[in-house]
Chains A and B, each alone.
Chain A
Amino acid sequence: MMPADLLTYAKPIPVSSSSTPAAGRARSSGGPPRTLAALTPGERGVVSGFSDRDRPNPISSRMMEMGLTVGATVEVAHEAPFGGALAVRCRGTLLAVRIADARVVELERASAGRAP
């Protein structure tokens, strides 16, 4: 867990409709890779990698075991009502994943889009 992540994570839930939690997350086209945390409910993407492999005891190994493997399609089904976590559909199951953890999951750049 990077200190910067911690700070973002501890931010209060935005209340105004113009700044939903998703808007606060990275949405740039260039720069760092798009992550699972950037998807809004209804959007899907394809897992391309994990950014925590060099950390000790990476969360990504458990995520992979839960089905979020490279190449798997993921869809954000819901955002937790108070924020902080996403309900992610993957391989026919719904998984609860914290947004802080979802930042570790990188998505293929061209893959994101709305679910049919």
Chain B
Amino acid sequence: MSTAALPRVALVGSPNSGKTTLFNALTGARQKTGNYAGVTVEKKEGLLALGPGLSVGLLDLPGAYSLDARTPDEAVTADLLRGARADEPRPRAIIAVADATNLERNLYLVLQLQELGLPMVLALTMADLARKQGIEVERDELSRRLGMPVVLTSARRKEGLADLLEQVGGLLESSASAPHEAGRGAIDNSPQKIIHRYKTIEHALRAALRKNEKAKDVTRAIDKVVLHRVWGPLILVVSFALMFQMIFSLAEYPMDALQHAVDALEALGRTLLPAGDLTSLIIDGVLAGVGAVVVFIPQILLLFAFIILFEDSGYMARAAFVLDRLMTKVGLNGRAFIPLLSAFACAVPGIMATRTIENRRDRLVTILVAPLMTCSARIPIYAMLIAAFIPATRVLGVFTYQGLTMVGMYLFGVVSALIVAAVLKRTALRGEVSTFIMEMPTYKVPSLKNLAMGLWDRARIFLRKAGTIILAVSVVLWALATYPKATPPAGMTEPKAVAAYQLAHSFAGQAGHAMEPFIEPLGYNWKIGVALLSSFAAREVVLSTLGTVYAIGYSDGDSAGLGDTLRKSPDFSLATALSLLVFYALACQCMSTLAITRRETNSWRWPAVMFTYMTALAYGAAFVTFHLARLL
């Protein structure tokens, strides 16, 4: 689908104005996401059918409080609407979006948009909700006062959408001639002008809005509890604890199913394809590498489902408000909470979510510490090592040492991230305390359609990553572990022993031997060295490498078998296991994280800083862990 040749209409509104819901209702599945050139702001575009044979491109511009931009998102919106972006033509018309239940605030941006001089129509969203809250909007009066056509819509009930399309068609017809040259300059934002805009809004609303003050305000009632001194933090802890519990328990079944599917494919490949390097490349390289990552999709999607639900319900802003004080203590701000939470699934979406942080230093600190949060790729190795080396003894009735160690690993990630953030804010990324002003939206019942489309978007991004970076790296690592070919000594026929011999003599094996002096202080032998190297690009492949190098194979997804072998192996002590746990918690073994950091910061400097500090930290902490554990 290409909308490049079509006339373009921009959808513009404040955050939480219901813009995305309206966009989804207007374009349905006919949309695509990408990026604006040079910046990392997400670009969403869809096809808008105005009538038979008449379609225009609909551009969903990033939410903005004002055209006087303070974030990269707002800058894209402001520049594009002014026609100041070289890569994007100025839209022909604007659909301004304002939440009918929050008109006074939302109309501010609308008045700024009007000053741009482009043809525009105002779409009031959530008209059904407004009526329910006793808010009556006199559409014609509002239209007259504001000097622009107004349409009352409700995406949920498909109300007003046809009317809106008709209005857009009318705008395009009447403005078919020369492009507008007005409103290309910077927006006037003197205090006088700001006050004038709000005065205009007050006058317009006094004439066109009836409010039943007696209607009960659900948001106020919920906030009495959610922002309460005691209940607020309690609800926060309980809801996020429940979320994690549900992610792990619900994801288990689809993950098992996916793992079985990958295993079945591997088995099928081995029976159908002739033995040889090409088959090995397909099965041990591509399938094993990409399969190891794809298995995490259920978990990542579940996490995103919760994040989207928290976000769309209006709770996320409250969580940021409640936690802001704690976050500022370590030099972050309340908005860093969402990216850091996302990083529990995967650092890549976490880092992408830092875009809403206005302050550049705050944003950099958040990006740099996000990979320390325990992402789901760490779970397999934690699970294997803990199951093999930590006793399952019960403590206090409901807990086990194994469960507590797992929780401990999560806490370790969080605490490390907070400490590193605090250190960065006091040293390299010193700066004044940033400001924090944010609208807390009214609570809403999240839309299932938004949820589905959001998840579909995330799944695509993740699969693209698996299909490109991870595929490429899997192939390279496969080659390093396969060549040069070694001839096993006479008498060695057992396939797993041959595979282990081959790996030991490959480039990867040689590198493992070469690095042994450096990793010996951490309690690692050359075999673990090979595993470290192979998991450099994606930490989740460590298990399959360990499986191969310890000559037991891992293709059947049997981590208990691997754990048993490691525990019985003389070169793998409890101290080594603990040291390895700490190393995997802190090391930056993720090519995708480095790639996304490069993209988000627009320089190689920050991924380099990230890789260096994390590797040094992992090495130091693993060293200390190994030696402490040996003393005990």
Using a CB–CB distance below 8 Å, which chain A residues touch chain B?
1, 6, 9, 13, 59, 61-67, 69-72, 77-85, 87, 91-98, 100-101
Contacting pair B322 A80 (CB below 8 A): yes
| Given A67-B198, A71-B195, A101-B435, A80-B105 contact (CB < 8 Å) | no
Total count of chain B residues near the partner, CB < 8 A: 41
Contacting pair B68 A61 (CB below 8 A): yes
Contacting pair B194 A65 (CB below 8 A): yes
Query: In the complex, which residues of chain A have a beta carbon less than 8 angstroms from the beta carbon of B392?
Result: none
Whose C-beta in chain A lies nearest to the C-beta of B101?
Answer: A92
Whose C-beta in chain B lies nearest to the C-beta of A59?
Answer: B435
Query: In the complex, which residues of chain A have a beta carbon less than 8 angstroms from the beta carbon of B324?
Result: 80, 84-85, 96, 98
Q: Which of B43-51, B437-445, B451-459 is the interface stretch?
A: B437-445
Contacting pair A97 B104 (CB below 8 A): no
Complex Cα gap A94–B443 (Å): 11
Q: Can you pick out 22 interface pairs between chain A and chain B where the beta carbons lie within 8 Å of each other?
A: A6-B433, A9-B328, A59-B435, A63-B437, A65-B68, A65-B108, A67-B108, A77-B220, A77-B223, A78-B223, A80-B324, A83-B325, A85-B321, A91-B105, A92-B102, A96-B321, A96-B436, A96-B438, A96-B439, A97-B436, A97-B437, A101-B437
Contacting pair B108 A93 (CB below 8 A): no
Partner of A78, one of B105, B227, B432, B439: B227
Complex Cα gap A81–B433 (Å): 20
Complex Cα gap A85–B320 (Å): 11
Distance (Å) between the CB of B426 and the closest chain A CB? 12
8 interchain residue pairs of minimum CB distance = A84-B325, A82-B325, A78-B227, A94-B440, A91-B104, A96-B321, A93-B105, A59-B435
Query: In the complex, which residues of chain A have a beta carbon less than 8 angstroms from the beta carbon of B18?
Result: none
Distance (Å) between the CB of B101 and the closest chain A CB? 9
Contacting pair A100 B433 (CB below 8 A): yes
Query: In the complex, which residues of chain A have a beta carbon less than 8 angstroms from the beta carbon of B230?
Result: 81
Complex Cα gap A67–B202 (Å): 11
| Given A67-B104, A78-B227, A80-B324, A94-B439 contact (CB < 8 Å) | yes
Contacts beyond the supplied A87-B321, A101-B436: 9 A-B pairs with Cβ under 8 Å: A1-B433, A62-B70, A62-B435, A65-B66, A94-B223, A95-B438, A95-B440, A96-B438, A100-B433
Within 8 A of A (CB), among B204-240: 219-220, 223, 227-230, 232-233
Distance (Å) between the CB of B496 and the closest chain A CB? 55
B611 at the binding interface (Cβ < 8 Å): no
B298 at the binding interface (Cβ < 8 Å): no
Complex Cα gap A68–B223 (Å): 21
Whose C-beta in chain B lies nearest to the C-beta of A79?
Answer: B229
Complex Cα gap A71–B321 (Å): 26
Distance (Å) between the CB of A63 and the closest chain B CB? 6
Complex Cα gap A9–B194 (Å): 29
Whose C-beta in chain B lies nearest to the C-beta of A52?
Answer: B435
Query: In the complex, which residues of chain B have a beta carbon less than 8 angstroms from the beta carbon of A72?
Result: 198
Complex Cα gap A91–B105 (Å): 7
Query: In the complex, which residues of chain B have a beta carbon less than 8 angstroms from the beta carbon of A87?
Result: 223, 227, 321, 440
Distance (Å) between the CB of B204 and the closest chain A CB? 13
Complex Cα gap A45–B180 (Å): 43
Distance (Å) between the CB of B431 and the closest chain A CB? 10
Within 8 A of A (CB), among B87-105: 102-105
| Given A67-B108, A94-B223, A81-B435 contact (CB < 8 Å) | no
Distance (Å) between the CB of B544 and the closest chain A CB? 44
Contacting pair A66 B437 (CB below 8 A): yes
Complex Cα gap A59–B326 (Å): 21
Contacting pair A69 B195 (CB below 8 A): yes
Complex Cα gap A4–B222 (Å): 36
Partner of A84, one of B65, B68, B220, B328: B328
Complex Cα gap A50–B264 (Å): 68
Complex Cα gap A100–B232 (Å): 22
Complex Cα gap A79–B580 (Å): 44
Whose C-beta in chain B lies nearest to the C-beta of A6?
Answer: B433
Query: In the complex, which residues of chain B have a beta carbon less than 8 angstroms from the beta carbon of A9?
Result: 328, 433
B529 at the binding interface (Cβ < 8 Å): no
B602 at the binding interface (Cβ < 8 Å): no
Query: In the complex, which residues of chain A have a beta carbon less than 8 angstroms from the beta carbon of B322?
Result: 80-82
Query: In the complex, which residues of chain A have a beta carbon less than 8 angstroms from the beta carbon of B326?
Result: 82
Whose C-beta in chain B lies nearest to the C-beta of A49?
Answer: B191
Contacting pair B436 A65 (CB below 8 A): no
Distance (Å) between the CB of B408 and the closest chain A CB? 24
Whose C-beta in chain B lies nearest to the C-beta of A63?
Answer: B437
Complex Cα gap A29–B108 (Å): 35
Which of B68, B70, B325 has the most C-beta atoms of chain A within 10 angstroms of its own C-beta?
B325
Contacting pair B105 A67 (CB below 8 A): yes
Complex Cα gap A64–B437 (Å): 11
B317 at the binding interface (Cβ < 8 Å): yes
Contacting pair A85 B436 (CB below 8 A): yes
Query: In the complex, which residues of chain B have a beta carbon less than 8 angstroms from the beta carbon of A1?
Result: 432-433
Query: In the complex, which residues of chain B have a beta carbon less than 8 angstroms from the beta carbon of A67?
Result: 104-105, 108, 198
Query: In the complex, which residues of chain A have a beta carbon less than 8 angstroms from the beta carbon of B233?
Result: 81-82
Query: In the complex, which residues of chain B have a beta carbon less than 8 angstroms from the beta carbon of A64?
Result: 191, 194-195
Query: In the complex, which residues of chain A have a beta carbon less than 8 angstroms from the beta carbon of B70?
Result: 62
Contacting pair B104 A81 (CB below 8 A): no
Partner of A62, one of B220, B232, B433, B437: B437
Query: In the complex, which residues of chain A have a beta carbon less than 8 angstroms from the beta carbon of B191?
Result: 61, 64, 69-70
Contacting pair B321 A80 (CB below 8 A): yes
B285 at the binding interface (Cβ < 8 Å): no
Whose C-beta in chain A lies nearest to the C-beta of B103?
Answer: A92
Query: In the complex, which residues of chain A have a beta carbon less than 8 angstroms from the beta carbon of B432?
Result: 1
B349 at the binding interface (Cβ < 8 Å): no
Whose C-beta in chain B lies nearest to the C-beta of A91?
Answer: B104
Query: In the complex, which residues of chain A have a beta carbon less than 8 angstroms from the beta carbon of B119?
Result: none
Query: In the complex, which residues of chain B have a beta carbon less than 8 angstroms from the beta carbon of A63?
Result: 437
Which of A62, A92, A96 has the most C-beta atoms of chain B within 10 angstroms of its own C-beta?
A96
Q: Mark B309-347, 1 if CB is under 8 A from A, else 0.
A: 000000001001111111010000010000000000000
Whose C-beta in chain B lies nearest to the C-beta of A98?
Answer: B436
Q: Mark B565-600, 1 if CB is under 8 A from A, else 0.
A: 000000000000000000000000000000000000
Complex Cα gap A72–B233 (Å): 31
Complex Cα gap A96–B438 (Å): 5
